[in-house]
Structure formats: C-alpha cells, structure tokens
Amino acid sequence: MRHKITDWDDAYANGINIPQGDRWPGAWAEPAKAYRERMVETGQAKLGLSYGDKPRNRFDLFVPAGDPLGLVVFVHGGFWIRLDNSYFSHLAHGAVETGYAVAMPTYTHAPENRISEITQEIGKAIEAAAEIVSGPIRLAGHSAGGHLVTRMASASSPLPEEIRKRIVNVVSISGVHDLRPIINTQMNEMQRIDIEEAYLESPALLEPLFRTRVTCWVGASERSEFLRQNALLANIWKGLDAETDCVEEPDRHHFNILDGLADPHHPLTEALLS
C-alpha cells in the first residue's frame, strides 16, 4: 500500500500522540533534581562546568565512587530549540553505578545558533569533559541529541583526532539522522535549516568515522518517522563499514525510552557500555 506523509508537523509531534504525553518533560524534572542533590552531597557531582563563552556553554559531571572506567557523554534533545541538561541528570545513574563518569552538556538553542553551530558547541563540550576524565569515550543522545552524537562520529566531526580515537561506542536514542524532513515543519521557523545545511549536518548523508560503532535505539511505539530515522542511519552506515545495530524496544514511546539509562542492568545501558 502506498503511503505519503502530508502532515510533517504531526509526523514529528510526540507529546500529543502519546497518552498523557503532556506529563513530559516535567516528569523528568524532580528525579533529575533529586539525583543532582544526592550526588552533590556525596561529592560526586560537579555542576555548571564551562566549555565556552555563551551562557548555555555548560555541562554537569557525575563521577563514580572510584576511579572512572571512562567517560560517557549524554546529549539531550528538544529539537535543538528547547530543554536543557537539568531535566536528565538521573539518567546518569546507570553508567555511574557501573563505574563511568557521565558528562551532560547543554547548548545554545536555535534560532540563536544554527544547527551547525550547535554541532560545534557539542564538540567543545566533549573536549572539555575529556580533559577531565581519561579513558575511552562513549556517546549517547536523545532525539536531537541523537543527531548531535552521531555527528560527532561522522567524517566531518568537529572533534580533534585525539578525541575521535577515544570514542569506542555511540548510542543514538530516537535520533533524527536526516534533517531534510524537518525543513517541512513549522519548527523550522526557529531551527532555520536550509537544504545546504541539511546535507552538511545530516549524519545519514555523511560517512562515519573509521571503525565507528553505533546503536540506533528507538521505542517501538514511537511515531513512524522516528522508527524510519532510527533504521535509516543503521542501514546506511552499515554499508559504509560501520558496526551498527538497530533496536526497537517494545512498549516504549519517545519519552519513556530514556528510562533504561537510569538502570545499570537495562539493555540500553548495557548496549552503551559494551
């Protein structure tokens, strides 16, 4: 049966298509705050570290009780126009409990920044965190954050060579890997993506770094566009010599798909730390 998308705004609308979807992002705020407070009390959190000159060029760092086994960087979503890292702090728990340090940056939103400028900011954030924590680097990102972490593993990554070599794994959660459809949405009045930028900033249209490992992870109950975007990158990069996996987690939607990161024994956390 032929199918054509006629309403691109609905195709990428999450909250209104999820039962009680208006609970998010507020549902993340309290557990995130409680986690930060607990980690500050135990001396395992450094909040508001700087990686640049702009007000939102900051990241939080959560560390395990002993020496870190390596660094995890989690990049939040919000379609590049909303949210910040404070909503997601509790998602560091799974990796921290397993012995990893977790950096959670935020970034300057569109329209103040173009998508390409946000890419550069995330590169600087990873560099700053990598100066503090040694060892292998694992990247995870949600939605727009999934786009940003896979950009770090693209051939035109803004990361310097020494940081690229330390990246051992990337997990894109409900990631947007081809920006061209976003041009058709009303959100693009703020994102200001044009076709040239879409080609330069879409991981699915770029080659992966040598020896890239990426897992594309999505909720099976998500919008069809997120399912398609998820499979797209895994499929294309597999054909370009990357090691890829594509997972559709049952009974998960665009928001509760992240819950697994808070659990050190959840398959999502295990995939990230593998």
pLDDT along the chain (274 residues), means of 10: 85 87 89 98 98 97 97 98 98 98 98 98 98 98 98 98 98 98 97 98 97 97 96 98 97 96 98 97
pLDDT at position 189: 97
193 assigned to some structural domain:
yes
> Does residue 101 belong to any structural domain of this protein?
yes
For residue 239, the enclosing domain spans 8-273
Cα gap 109→135, rounded to integer Å: 30
pLDDT at 36: 98
Is residue 35 included in any domain, yes or no?
Answer: yes
Question: Rounded CA gap, 141 and 88, in Å?
Answer: 11
Residue 19 pLDDT? 84
What value does the CA radius of gyration of the chain take, rounded to a whole number of Å?
A: 17
In the DSSP assignment, the letter for residue 99 is T
Q: The CATH number of the domain where 162 resides is what? A: 3.40.50.1820
| Domain assignment of residue 42, yes or no | yes
**Number of independent structural domains in the chain:** 1
pLDDT at 15: 85
Report the Cα–Cα distance between both ends of the chain, in Å, rounded. 39
3-state secondary structure 35-68: HHHHHHHCCCEEEEEECCCCCCCEEEEECCCCCC
Rounded Cα–Cα distance for residues 164 and 75 (Å): 17
Statement: the pTM of the whole predicted model exceeds 0.85: yes
Q: What is the pLDDT of residue 244?
A: 98
Whether 3 is in a domain gets the answer no
- What pLDDT is recorded for position 18? 83
